[in-house]
């Protein structure tokens, strides 16, 4: 065949069509689909069996809750149309909204709500605290149920509507009857989106389709409350472990949203008009350091107090986040920018890092030179860097340090060992939680000081526990703030843990994505639209 | 030949059994607790212990191993601790992406590498040889993540010709499938091009110094015919060996390239499983990998008989 200029042009035109064709179809799908890269892979589908945030996001898409906190932290009815409280504050009767249906077409009944509350109550820290005061939870008929208490518990509605894991999602009775310790693998709720298992690829992408039967509350979306209107036909949560790839994909318009961007990649997006950056979680996250209080040297309160003077939060934060606009130091037991934030007993923080004082306190504690084992988390830069800095400061204070680098799975396995560090135990590990999680001394397991029954590190303090109970029983916010102040005054004396600083992750999204609701513990995808 | 194949297949079963045992023991010796990972950071030790019991992770190791091996013998690789999906299904879901990437990489690398190797050997010691070998050194030296990001920036972000990431199944069309594979296969293919080109050159140089090549030249046989028909065929065994190793490595998962281009392949599956200690998935994938390695090695050995008729089993 003879090659002419015409055939070459035809060939070039054909090639152009081939390259462009998928773009047209992609553009059509793009207008109705929101593609999101989240901070982690969805390892479990059960938002009660795990406290992992990513599973709470999954839960918020497919399940609904009885109540929800609005943007002003006021608890508002969600699946409940009406409720009454007896004069003695012991009996709550709830009536479900009409027309609520699960994704399999079955109506949501009071029996589903009762089973779900019981399962949540067996698992969640706040739920367990509440259930110590619950005499009975039972369905009265298909649409109403009651909770009867042994003693008044003013936070009951707050707990049912909280948005921090574990959230009291309403599941089908059959699912909610599963042992709370055994993760369910079903994903059928009554929420604004339905889990599309057929198109989900475990470890790669999780697909959610709009629930056409969902009846949103006739109010504007506000925080975790209000109308959960699904404006996209489909939400896809993608697991993209490489952040640079995710940033490039966002710039190329292949994805619409990245939940968290590392500070070093922000500059790549800052001048790009097709992308916008936003801090959705205004209370940020706080890194914390847990010490094994059952073993020397941290079984001595003086050694724990030494840690307060040893850590320079600004230096820890700067090592990872660079620009101070992304972080701040915070000495409040309840995180900064929260309703319980307090300034009580923070002289150690205001005075700045004092290694000499720390060294003196270690001496008073009778530290004998035995190596202190720090489990260095290698998968999260902020915690890995913090471990290196801490090791250096401990050495300067005369402490012999052994750094043990471990991935997260290695740390969570080893941290359950209560024994000596030389026998497979540990002395220090670090992790983090959202700022708002610290604001709740009941729900966050690490706020308990119940000794060996409690969370890793096992601090014990009777006064702290009394104050926690008093906090939960307090009738209003002002009373709780007063007790929180007292709790902090006491806590920085017995030192259950030490903070590393508070940081604020930046989310990135295409500039045409609007209506993203900023919640402290959750990224909800209702109310979000394009254009 | 058939007896040889049967003997090799028999040896495969023994190899896979030993691999299974070793993987199981090493995995369980390594620190990690899937129950603690599933339960989440805020879970109490009591909740984690309860979950561990539910998942059967409290059973003695020999019991767990025998339970797993018993299932494997019956063709069941178990289910993921996390998603509860069958491991075989998870592997099959990922295999298309991995096999596609392997095919695209070899389709890119093998013809170029053999052509480079043949030309470099023919022009040994000249500038052409040096340029081609410089290229192959560069192919070895450039890490996949550097080249991958560079290609992605140029072709996807600047020129908007190709996608940054992802994988499209072939069932959605040849071109959408191929579009997603161009950049990763070029990235990955650079290393293989370099490797195969160098082996081809070395092997060809050896053959080109043989008497029968001199005879062919003396008879006036055209140079291309000498290079392809006479020399390349006789240099084929080492080249087939290195291509075979390449196939096994590619199927075995190329984690960096899969990560840079967000390709949901088997490599990513096993890395994610290791990070959260999803024992059945790790064990299943490694068992399948070992089978593929042994099978590809057998196929490579058998291919020698086609390349060199003197070889008989």
Element containing residue A358 per DSSP (H, E): helix A355-364
Residue-level pLDDT at A2? 45
What SS3 class is residue B268?
helix
Check whether A22 has a pLDDT greater than 70. Answer: no
Check residue A219 and report its DSSP letter: S
Minimal CA–CA distance to A291: which of A274, A310, A312, A319? A310
For residue A7, pLDDT beyond 70: no
Q: What is the CATH number of the domain that holds B255?
A: 1.10.3720.10
Is the pLDDT confidence value at A257 over 90?
Answer: yes
- Predicted confidence (pLDDT) at residue A14 exceeds the cutoff of 50: no
Residue B302, pLDDT > 50, answer: yes
Task: Answer for the pair A333, A364: CB distance below 8 angstroms, yes or no.
Answer: no
Q: What is the CATH number of domain A5-38+192-281+506-530?
A: 3.40.190.10
Burial (Cβ within 10 Å: 0-12, 13-18, ≥19) of residue A358:
buried
Chain A residues closer than 8 Å to B82 by CB: 43-44
Q: How far is the alpha carbon of A210 from chain B, nearest alpha carbon, in Å?
A: 23
Q: Give me the sign of the Cα torsion angle B231, B233, B237, B241.
A: positive
Examine the domain organization and report whether B140 and B269 are in the same domain. yes
Number of CB atoms found within 10 A of residue A263's CB: 18
Alpha-carbon distance B82 to B278, whole Å? 7
CA distance A386 to chain B (A): 18
The Cα B69–Cα B79 span in angstroms is 13
- Tokens 């916008």 locate to A276
Per-residue DSSP letter, B126: S
Q: Is the previous residue joined to A140 through a cis bond, with omega within 30 degrees of 0?
A: no
Residues of chain A with CATH 3.10.105.10: 285-503
- Same structural domain for residues B128 and B253? yes
Of the listed ranges A123-127, A278-282, B298-302, the least confidently predicted one is: B298-302
- Tell me how many degrees the CA angle A276-A281-A283 measures, rounded to the nearest 5: 140
Together in a domain, B192 and B240:
yes
- Segment A265-282 shows an average pLDDT of 92
User: Domain spanning A285-503: which CATH class is it, in words?
Assistant: alpha beta
Average pLDDT, chain B: 88
Number of Cβ atoms within 10 Å of the Cβ of B129: 18
- Residues B127, B164: one domain? yes
Q: How many CA atoms lie within 13 A of B149 on its CB side?
A: 11
Q: Which two tokens stand for residue A215?
A: 């009846």
- Inform me whether the C-beta atom of residue A455 falls under 8 Å from chain B C-beta atoms: yes
Q: DSSP state, B262?
A: T
Residues B181, B43 within the same domain: no
Please tell me whether residues B61 and B162 are part of one structural domain: no
By CB atoms closer than 10 A (0-12, 13-18, 19+), residue A413 is buried
Q: Is residue B66 one of the residues assigned to a domain?
A: yes
Class of domain A67-176 as given by CATH: alpha beta
Within the 46-105 window of chain B, which residues sit less than 8 Å (CB to CB) from chain A? 46-48, 50-51, 53-54, 80, 82-85, 90, 93-94
Cα separation of A8 and A14, whole Å? 10
User: Is B82 inside a domain boundary?
Assistant: no
Q: Specify the pLDDT at position A1.
A: 43
Cite the residue boundaries of each domain of chain A with CATH code 3.90.76.10.
67-176
| Cross-chain Cβ contact A123/B47 below 8 Å | yes
Strand partners, A507: A278
- Binary contact (A21, B156; C-beta < 8 A): no
Q: What is the number of domains present in chain B?
A: 2
**Per the structure block, which two tokens stand in for A50?**
């795990």
Q: Answer whether A49 sits within 8 Å of B38, measured CB to CB.
A: yes
Chain B CB contacts of A244 under 8 Å are: 149, 260
Please give, rounded to a whole number of angstroms, the shortest distance from the CA of A527 to a CA of chain B: 27
State whether residue B165 sits within 8 Å of chain A by CB.
Answer: yes
CA dist., res. B138 & res. B130, Å (int): 12
What's the pLDDT band for A19 if we cut at 50, 70, 90?
A: very low
Question: Tens of pLDDT along A477-492?
Answer: 999 999 999 999 999 9
Considering chain A, what percentage of its residues have pLDDT values greater than 70? 94
> Average pLDDT of A136-145?
96
Q: How many residues does chain B have?
A: 313
pLDDT of residue A30: 66
Task: Say if residue A51's pLDDT is above 90.
Answer: no
Q: For A176-185, A307-316, A348-357, A468-477, which range has the lowest pLDDT when averaged over its residues?
A: A176-185
Q: Which residues of B touch A454 (CB under 8 A)?
A: 44
pLDDT for A29 equals 62
A328-342 as b/e: b if 16+ CB within 10 A: bbbbbbbbbbbebbb
pLDDT band with cut points at 50, 70 and 90 for residue B253? low
Sign for the CA dihedral angle at B295, B298, B302, B304 comes to positive
Structure confidence at residue B143 (pLDDT): 86
Under an 8 A CB cutoff, do A203 and B41 touch? no
Q: Say what the alpha-carbon torsion angle B117, B122, B126, B132 is, to the nearest 10 degrees.
A: -10
**What is the model's pLDDT at position A364?**
97
ipTM entry: 0.82
Mean pLDDT, range A422-449, rounded to an integer? 93
Interface contact A254-B176, CB threshold 8 A: no
Phi, psi values for residue A144, rounded to 5°: -135, 150
Q: Where are the beta strands (DSSP E) in A102-150?
A: 134-139, 144-149
Region B60-85: mean pLDDT is: 88
Band of residue B109 on the pLDDT scale cut at 50, 70, 90: very high
CB contact under 8 A, B260 and A245: yes
Q: Are residues B149 and B50 in the same domain?
A: no
Indicate whether A12 pLDDT > 60. Answer: no
Question: What pLDDT is attached to residue A305?
Answer: 98
* Beta-carbon separation of B82 and A44 below 8 A: yes
- The residue-averaged pLDDT of A261-281 equals 92
Q: Is A258 on the interface with B (CB under 8 A)?
A: no
CA count, 13 A, side-chain hemisphere, B136: 24
Question: What is the pLDDT, as a whole number, of residue A294?
Answer: 97
Contact state of B264 with A413 under an 8 Å Cβ cutoff: no
Q: In chain A, which residue's Cα lies nearest the Cα of B164?
A: A249
- Please tell me the distance in Å from B158's CA to the nearest CA on chain A: 9
Rama region for A13: left / alpha / beta (φ>0; ψ in -120 to 50; rest):
alpha
With 0-12 CB in 10 A as exposed, 13-18 as middle and 19+ as buried, what is B209?
A: exposed
Contact A151, A47 (CB under 8 A): no
Q: Which residues of B touch A408 (CB under 8 A)?
A: 37, 275
- B38 and B109 assigned to the same domain: no
Token code pair at residue A410: 């290695």
Average pLDDT over residues A324-343: 95
Both tokens of B288, joined, read 């399948």
Residue A520 and residue A285: Cα distance in Å, rounded?
A: 9
Write out the residue range of the structural domain in which residue B56 sits: 20-73
Enumerate the residues of chain A whose CB falls inside 8 A of the CB of residue B153: 248
Of all residues in chain B, the one with the smallest CA distance to A206 is: B83
Biggest alpha carbon–alpha carbon distance for chain A: 96
Report d(CA A173, CA A186) in Å as an integer: 12
Residues of chain A with CATH 3.40.190.10: 5-38+192-281+506-530
Strands A372-377 and A401-406: parallel
Inside any domain, residue B268: yes
User: Does the pLDDT value for residue B235 go beyond 50?
Assistant: yes
Could you say which of B82, B157, B272 has the minimum Cβ distance to residue A251? B157
Structure confidence by residue, pLDDT tens digits, B127-160 = 999 999 888 888 888 888 899 999 999 999 899 9
Q: Are residues B40 and B173 in the same domain?
A: no
* CA dist., res. A187 & res. A103, Å (int): 9
Share of chain B above pLDDT 70, in %: 99
pLDDT of residue A11 exceeding 70, the answer is no
């Amino acid at each position: 065949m003879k090659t002419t200029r015409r055939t070459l042009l035809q060939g070039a035109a054909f090639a152009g069509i081939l390259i462009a064709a998928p773009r047209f179809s992609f553009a059509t799908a793009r207008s109705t689909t929101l593609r999101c890269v989240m901070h982690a892979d969805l390892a479990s589908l059960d938002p009660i069996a795990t406290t992992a945030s990513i599973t709470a996001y999954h839960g918020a898409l497919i399940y609904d809750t009885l109540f929800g906190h609005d943007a002003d932290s006021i608890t508002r009815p969600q699946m409940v149309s009406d409720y009454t409280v007896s004069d003695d504050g012991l009996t709550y009767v709830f009536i479900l909204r009409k027309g609520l249906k699960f994704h399999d077409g079955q109506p949501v009944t009071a029996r589903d709500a009762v089973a779900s509350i019981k399962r949540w109550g067996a698992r969640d820290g706040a739920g367990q605290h509440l259930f110590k005061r619950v005499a009975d939870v039972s369905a009265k008929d298909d649409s109403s149920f009651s909770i009867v208490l042994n003693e008044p518990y003013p936070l009951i509605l707050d707990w049912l509507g909280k948005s921090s894991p574990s959230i009291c999602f309403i599941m089908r009775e059959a699912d909610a009857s599963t042992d709370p310790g055994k993760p369910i693998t079903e994903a059928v709720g009554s929420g604004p989106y339905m889990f599309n298992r057929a198109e989900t690829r475990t470890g790669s992408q999780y697909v959610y389709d709009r629930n056409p039967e969902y009846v949103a509350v006739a109010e504007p979306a506000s925080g975790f409350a209000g109308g959960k209107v699904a404006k996209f036909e489909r939400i896809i949560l993608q697991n993209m472990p490489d952040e640079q790839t995710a940033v490039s994909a966002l710039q190329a318009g292949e994805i619409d949203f990245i939940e968290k961007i590392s500070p070093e990649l922000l500059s790549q997006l800052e001048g790009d008009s097709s992308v916008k950056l936003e801090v959705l979680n205004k209370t940020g996250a706080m890194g914390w350091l847990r010490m094994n209080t059952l073993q020397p040297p941290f079984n001595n309160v003086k050694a724990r107090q030494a840690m307060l003077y040893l850590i320079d939060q600004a230096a820890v934060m700067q090592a990872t986040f660079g620009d101070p606009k992304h972080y701040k130091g915070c000495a409040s037991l309840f995180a900064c920018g929260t309703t319980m934030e307090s300034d009580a007993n923070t002289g150690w923080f205001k005075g700045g890092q004092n290694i000499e004082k720390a060294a003196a306190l270690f001496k008073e504690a009778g530290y004998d030179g035995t190596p202190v084992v720090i489990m260095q988390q290698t998968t999260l830069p902020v915690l890995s860097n913090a471990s290196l800095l801490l090791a250096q400061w401990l050495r300067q204070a005369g402490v012999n340090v052994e750094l043990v680098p471990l991935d997260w799975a290695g740390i969570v396995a080893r941290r359950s060992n209560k024994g000596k560090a030389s026998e497979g135990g540990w002395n220090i590990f670090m992790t983090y939680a959202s700022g708002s999680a610290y604001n709740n001394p009941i729900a966050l397991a690490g706020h308990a000081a119940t000794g060996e029954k409690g969370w890793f590190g096992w601090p014990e303090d009777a006064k702290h526990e009394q104050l926690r109970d008093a906090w939960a029983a307090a009738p209003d916010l002002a009373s709780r703030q007063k007790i929180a102040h007292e709790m902090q005054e006491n806590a920085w004396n017995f030192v259950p843990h030490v903070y590393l600083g508070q940081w604020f992750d930046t989310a990135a999204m295409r500039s045409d994505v609007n209506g993203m609701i900023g919640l402290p513990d959750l990224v909800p995808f209702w109310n979000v639209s394009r254009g | 030949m058939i007896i040889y194949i049967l003997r090799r297949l028999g040896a495969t079963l023994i190899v896979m059994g030993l691999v299974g045992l070793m993987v199981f023991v090493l995995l369980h010796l390594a620190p990690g607790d899937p129950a603690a990972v599933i339960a989440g950071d805020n879970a109490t030790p009591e909740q984690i212990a309860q979950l561990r019991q539910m998942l059967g992770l409290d059973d003695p190791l020999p019991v767990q191993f025998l339970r797993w091996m018993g299932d494997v013998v019956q063709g069941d690789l178990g289910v993921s601790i996390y998603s509860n999906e069958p491991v075989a299904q998870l592997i099959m879901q990922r295999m298309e992406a991995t096999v596609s990437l392997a095919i695209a990489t070899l389709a890119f690398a093998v013809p170029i590498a053999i052509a480079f190797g043949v030309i470099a050997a023919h022009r040994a010691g000249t500038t052409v040889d040096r340029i081609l070998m410089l290229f192959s050194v560069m192919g070895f030296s450039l890490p996949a993540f550097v080249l991958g990001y560079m290609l992605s920036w140029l072709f996807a972000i600047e020129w908007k010709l190709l996608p940054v990431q992802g994988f499209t199944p072939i069932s959605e069309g040849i071109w959408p499938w191929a579009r997603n594979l161009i950049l990763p296969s070029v990235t990955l293919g650079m290393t293989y091009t370099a490797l195969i080109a160098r082996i081809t050159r070395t092997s060809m140089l050896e053959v080109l110094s043989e008497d029968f090549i001199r005879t062919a030249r003396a008879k006036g046989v055209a140079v291309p015919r000498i290079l392809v028909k006479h020399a390349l065929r006789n240099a084929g065994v080492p080249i087939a060996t290195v291509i075979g190793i390449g196939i096994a490595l590619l199927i075995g998962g190329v984690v960096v390239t899969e990560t840079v281009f967000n390709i949901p392949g088997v490599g990513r599956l096993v890395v994610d499983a290791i990070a959260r200690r999803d024992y059945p998935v790790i064990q299943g994938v490694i068992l399948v990998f070992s089978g593929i390695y042994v099978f590809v090695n057998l196929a490579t050995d058998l291919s020698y008989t086609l390349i060199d008729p003197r070889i008989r089993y």
